[in-house]
Amino acid sequence: MANPTAYLPLVVIGRGGHARVIADTARACGQSVAVFLDDDFAAAPSGLHVEGPVRALIPKYIGTHRFAVGIGDHRFRRAFAELVLAQDGELATMIHPSAIIASDVTIGAGSVVLAGAIIGTGARIGRFTIVNTGASVDHDCTLEDNVQIGPGATLAGTVVCRRDAFVCSGATVIPKIEIGAGAIVAAGATVIKNVTAQTMVAGCPAMEKKTLRAHAD
């Protein structure tokens, strides 16, 4: 049965580049974008209908609109997504028409799969997750909540990315690797061994560069 709320107009939280990519994806899917919400609404680019502040206006659109969080920073993306859910709002899950998704893939609420991305059979995508432009997530991968896979990044089969992990643009992860919670794989890195939670790795092969500060929820 079709979900009737899928036809509700969209509210995009954020007004920057990622928010505009989200809006473009929505339009490519034939969905209407009603408004952008941003705390810095007075500095919005011309041509965008932006209102704010965000927390004050979310309740205005609950029940009549769906929400997409167009923020790249994982801390704010998760915080606003959870705020919408806490108020019984609906998070839109969007897949660009040019993405290739296997029929048995599962994708959680509020996640986005952008233009040219490929997700292979058996993959499981959590909530609030970004599979960015041209990224490849191969068979049986698991991306937990609030993961971001950057443009052109490649995850081979059975890779696991724990909550809040970020695999940056052009990185490659070989099969059966685990990327720990909150870890960052730098752009262009080649990952051939597991990455510890809250660390940054870079290089080819990827090596640990620094320990990241964990952020309280």
Between 40 and 55, name the one with better pLDDT. 55
Looking at residue 4, what is its pLDDT? 46
Distance of alpha carbon 146 from alpha carbon 109, whole angstroms: 10
Annotated catalytic, 139?
yes
Between 5 and 69, name the one with better pLDDT. 69
Crossing angle of the two packed helices 54-61 and 74-86, in degrees rounded to 10: 40
Is 86 strand, coil or helix?
helix
Q: Give the domains, in start order, of the chain with CATH numbers.
A: 4-92 (3.40.50.20), 95-204 (2.160.10.10)
pLDDT at 20 > cutoff 50:
yes
Distance of alpha carbon 46 from alpha carbon 57, whole angstroms: 21
Indicate the pLDDT class of residue 23, thresholds 50, 70 and 90.
very high
Question: Residues of 108-117 as b/e, b for ≥16 C-beta within 10 angstroms?
Answer: bbbbbbbbbb
- Give me the catalytic one of 18, 74, 96, 139: 139
Residues 104-156 have pLDDT tens digits of 999 999 999 999 999 999 999 999 999 999 999 999 999 999 999 999 999 99
Burial class for 48, CB neighbours closer than 10 Å (0-12, 13-18, 19+): middle
Residues 49-84 have pLDDT tens digits of 899 999 999 999 999 999 999 999 999 999 999 999
Between 101 and 209, name the one with better pLDDT. 101
Residue 161's nearest CA partner among 174, 175, 178 is 178
Q: How are the residues of the chain apportioned to helix, strand and coil, as percentages rounded to the nearest 5?
A: 20, 30, 55
Looking at residue 47, what is its pLDDT? 75
